[in-house]
Amino acid sequence: MRIAIITGAAGLIGSEAVKFFSQKMDLVVGIDNNMRAYFFGDNASTAWNEKLLEEQVKNYKHVKADIRDFAAIENVFKKYEKDIAIVIHTAAQPSHDWAAKEPLTDFAVNAIGTSNMLENTRLHAPHAVFIFTSTNKVYGDTPNLLPLVEHEDRYEIDEKHPYYKNGIDETMSIDQSKHSLFGASKVAADVLAQEYGRYFEMNVGIFRGGCLTGPMHSGTQLHGFLSYLMKCAITGERYTIFGYKGKQVRDNIHSADLINMFWNFYQNPRQGEVYNAGGGRFANCSMKEAIALCEEITEKKMNTVYTETNRIGDHIWYVSDLSKFRSHYPDYHWKYDLKTTATEIFEFIRKRV
């Protein structure tokens, strides 16, 4: 029997992982206590997605447990330990704005929660593959020191720079920069996951995500950029653009494309390996370009307001280089370009509002 343990199971990446790995495993055990509603309010609740999973995925078992509670997590691992094939840890406090409100909660969820997951895997399922969803915020604001050129609708890196062709790779320093408290707690978890892989010789993969997106995202102003943007485009709710003239650039990776990265890693795992994970040059946009895309899809003018105050530690330009991952897993390629993803989000949200 093969079992997958997935934290944050009712969230964007977690639920995508549940649906995918339910086709590969005998049982999927999802751990989620809907902390997203605590972080961002009832509009961000994932209860609706949890209900869908329980109704639609026949070999899915949901566990309401808090990853900060070592004993509660250990109970899950003890119950299934002999058969656990993969642990996918997606649960997190994901907003650098929110982290400043409750730094201790942020650190407990992101760092201590990850420690609890890693240690329980080591104790009860040491041969399982462990996948950790990290973030590009571990690089802090170092990307803002790159030679950037301002264009009409976006910032772009100087075409002479080595990062111009494919984006930012894993050699960028994560030290001596402003991360936000969220970024700092994720650095702690990221480095700890690397250490468990290398020190204990466990099959651990760390995936530093860019903007993770898709139709199952419960997007809010503080987290879930493309989903929340499209929601505002559909409903007419005012959308606030924070600084940089709306020209800040992000790459966007569809949740299904990220899960495909996980699947490739699972089939040929490595110990403590780090990968950047985003849309790269295949799928990226500035805020202004994303707004134009949403207006094109919805055929409506968006209600936007601009403030000069940018978010602390926010990136001006970030595009992920996946060359390292694709050199290790040459069969991998993205399937969802930006317009396909945005259209899918539009169709899904339109049915719910």
Convert the pLDDT of each residue in 83-103 to its tens digit. 999 999 999 999 988 999 999
What's the confidence (pLDDT) of residue 224? Answer: 66
pLDDT in tens, 190-245: 999 999 999 999 999 999 998 999 988 766 665 667 889 999 999 999 999 999 99
pLDDT score recorded for residue 225: 79
Cβ atoms of residues 32 and 50 within 8 Å: yes
Task: Choose among 262, 228, 249, 239: nearest CA to 318.
Answer: 249
Q: Which amino acid appears at position 182 of this protein?
A: F
Three-class SS of residue 233?
helix
Please list the ranges in the chain whose pLDDT falls under 70.
218-224, 353
For position 222, what pLDDT does the model report? 58
All structural domains of the chain, each given as residue ranges with its CATH number in brackets, are 3-352 (3.40.50.720)
- pLDDT value at residue 148: 98
How high is the pLDDT of residue 43? 83
Distances (CA, A) of 142 to 103, 211, 317: 22, 17, 10
Residue type, 80: Y
Q: How many CA atoms lie within 13 A of 252 on its CB side?
A: 25
Residue 129, H or E segment: strand 129-135
pLDDT at 193: 98
End-to-end CA distance of the chain: 41
pLDDT in the model for residue 44: 85
